[in-house]
Amino acid sequence: MSILALIMIILAYLLGSISSAVLICRMCQLPDPRQQGSKNPGATNVLRVGGKAAAVGVLVSDILKGMIPVWFSYYLGIEPLMLGFIGVAACLGHIYPIFFHFKGGKGVATAIGTMAPIGFDLTGMLMATWLITFFTTRYSSLAAIVTTLLAPFYTWLVKPQYTIPVAMLSCLIIFRHYANIKRLIDGSEPKVKSKSQAKHH
């Protein structure tokens, strides 16, 4: 491993450790997403506790946390396998943030961000899979799991040299959704309603 790759892995972890959900909720004077709803500091839970605008801000920020270090590393000429480790580092930062007591989100948006530099075709397939699954089922977790499982296959179709790094990311995200998988199987996983929808129920 080169010194440059090691530096980018550390920087990716530190960038990933910045919790967009917590900071945006503080700026918007919303409840702490770690204390409300599913207690997960991610876009889906911010949608529950703070509405659509805050959730979109979190989603975009979380995607950029993954995209920026991988894209920058790509232009520095770092090899595909190391780009995979840089992507994993960004996701580990999001999941186990050093700045927020190692209690973070599920890493889905950040993982999509790390895969985005592979190509818009891959990003489009990932986003389409997530959206179709989500709007069909209203389960954010199921949409994430299905998208994550298909990501290595999509990558193999588009740019096979990135299949192993993407598969590494997929394993990490599936592991992080272990509790959601259990709830989906036993029927206790909650469907997603926004703050405005919840008020009408």
Q: What is the DSSP string of 36-101?
A: STT---SHHHHHHHH-HHHHHHHHHHHHHHHHHHHHHHHHTT--HHHHHHHHHHHHHHHHS-GGGT
Nearest C-alpha neighbor of 99 from the set 28, 152, 154, 22: 22
Let me know: does 108 contact 161? Beta carbons within 8 Å: no
Q: Supply 50's token pair.
A: 């703070």
Q: Supply 156's token pair.
A: 């193999």
CA distance 88 to 164: 12
E strand or H helix that includes residue 112: helix 108-115
For residue 194, the SS3 value is coil
Let me know: does 109 contact 59? Beta carbons within 8 Å: yes
Tens-digit pLDDT string for the chain (201 aa): 689 999 999 999 999 999 999 999 999 988 888 888 778 888 888 988 888 899 999 999 999 999 999 999 999 999 888 988 999 999 999 999 999 888 888 888 899 899 888 888 998 999 999 999 999 998 988 999 999 999 999 999 998 988 988 998 899 899 989 999 999 999 998 887 655 444 444
pTM: 0.85
CA distance 91 to 17: 9
Identity of the residue numbered 11? L
For residue 13, the SS3 value is helix
